[in-house]
Amino acid sequence: MAAKVMNVRMTQTKQSLINAFFHLVSKKDFEKITIADITKGAQVNRATFYAHFTDKYELLDYVMGDSASAAIVKHTAGVVKFDQDSIHQLVLAVCDFYRPPDIQCRSSYVGLVVPQLKEKIVNGLKEYLSKSLEDIYTADEKNIYVPIFAQVIHEGAIQWATGNVTTHKEDVAMRVALLVIGGFHSSELTLR
């Protein structure tokens, strides 16, 4: 019982640090945010911050990684499979991941975060795809196809997210899913 209470308290504390961070990035440049600013906003001491994160960069990294994983799990309902519907949902997850946050981000935050966003979501896609292709491809084949499929899914979604295509995201997701599954089936034919 005591361990459960401690875990809940740790989770709540971590969430209050994250909330304080989001509040701060809407008001200050990321470079000017201090640990003291974050702990004051979360109403915890410095030692508590360091019990969760080594610095503000690790906090930022955690927030982005958690958001990428959450977007994928939300759209796939945690079910790992490789089919047209799953690929469709992965594209939608990436679209949602890139949707602007509800906070007014300062330009320094956006400049720092945008390059890292791609790495986080692509890594999440690779992890999902690697699991979904576990029984289909050998390790060497997965090393070829997983990064390619992840990049195709990402690129399709980013075209929608940046406004380069004007069709609805559902249409983009359907087209990318057809492309990936079509590529998968043609690679299956050449391997036989």
Domains of the chain as residue ranges with CATH: 2-53 (1.10.10.60), 78-191 (no CATH)
- Which of the two residues, 150 and 104, has the higher pLDDT score? 150
The set of residues, in sequence order, having a beta carbon less than 8 Å from that of 110 and lying 6+ positions away, is none
Closest alpha carbon to 95 in 189, 174, 36, 13: 174
- Alpha-carbon Rg of the chain, whole angstroms? 19
- Predicted confidence at residue 90, as pLDDT, reads 96
Closest alpha carbon to 88 in 180, 177, 151: 177
- Predicted confidence at residue 134, as pLDDT, reads 92
Question: What does the pLDDT look like over 64-114, one tens digit per residue?
Answer: 778 888 899 999 998 999 999 999 999 999 988 877 554 445 445 445 566
The segment with the largest mean pLDDT, out of 19-23, 27-31, 85-89, 116-120, is 85-89
Q: What average pLDDT score do residues 113-119 get?
A: 73
CA-to-CA separations, 152 to 82, 119, 163, 166, in angstroms, rounded = 15, 14, 17, 18
Average pLDDT, the chain: 83
